[in-house]
Amino acid sequence: MKYLSYVLLTAVLLLTSCEDKKNASEEKANPTSEKAVLPDKTEEQPKDTATSESSKKTNDKTEIGAGYSKITEDNLVAFLTQYGKENPETKVKISTRLGDIVIELYEDTPLHRANFIYLVKQGYFNETFFHRIVPDFIIQGGNSDLPSTNKKRAKLGNDYLLPAEINGRNHFYGSVSGAKEYRENPDKKSAPYEFFIFLGPETSTSHLNGNYTVFGRVTQGMDVVEKIAALPSDEGDWPLQNVYVEAEVL
């Protein structure tokens, strides 16, 4: 009898341990690090926005980073200046389940433009998310809670920041800007892998203007931006359902 009771107890424990296992890619993401952050509507606050690894896809179907040196603080200006000369494109399409967003990149922010084009062509953004949404303010992209995102960053270069290229341009409805490291950043450098699209009123830009580099603008798809911004999110502004990204140069 004792043996039968033991068998029944073991079976119950095994069944309980198998319950309520959810796929992190289907439910809200669970960020694990604090790479790049965007300020609150009124002030900067630290935020754990997960970093991660790579989608297996790249635009040219080759391994990500193949044929290029890793970008570092020491070589980034030379690397991006040369890459920008060889890759002068200024338009990118970002596709999501809610529709497409077309972005035009500014030529007077050459390092940010070249970096963004490089990341798109390397397939970095594919299978990252719009991972932070604040209605009437911003949506932020370029991160995920997938292991692939961290692997991509490790291959492309995960210890560099982009010099500020602010150029006196203010934020506006549809502007695209580089996110920043929350850590002390007096030089206002941009985190290379994350960006945000502004959709709030001008009254919400006073703490953004002069502090974040505006390097592009949305030319098509602000209705899609609005839809993404209106999605349900958790207390950390992460959408409850992931908004996957696929990006291509036009």
Over residues 24-46, the mean pLDDT reads: 45
The neighbouring-strand residues paired with 66 are none
- Tell me: pLDDT of 44 over 70: no
Bigger pLDDT: 156 or 47? 156
- Residue 236 has what pLDDT? 92
How far is residue 134 from each of residues 27, 78, 217, measured CA to CA in Å? 18, 36, 18
pLDDT of 204 higher than 90:
yes
- pLDDT tens-digit map of 81-117: 999 999 999 999 999 999 999 999 999 999 999 999 9
Indicate if the pLDDT at residue 17 is higher than 70.
Answer: no
Question: How do residues 136-151 score in pLDDT, each as one tens digit?
Answer: 999 999 999 999 999 9
Query: What pLDDT score does 64 carry?
Result: 83
Sign of CA dihedral 66, 67, 70, 76: negative
* C-alpha distance across the termini of the chain, in Å: 73
Q: pLDDT tens, 150-164?
A: 999 999 999 899 999
Domains of the chain with CATH codes: 68-249 (2.40.100.10)
pLDDT of residue 63: 81
Q: Give the model's confidence band at 37: pLDDT under 50 very low, under 70 low, under 90 confident, else very high.
A: low
Cβ distance 143 to 239 under 8 Å?
A: no
Distance of CA 246 to the CA centre of its chain: 12
pLDDT of residue 28: 46
Strand partners, 141: 130, 195
Mean pLDDT on 212-227: 98
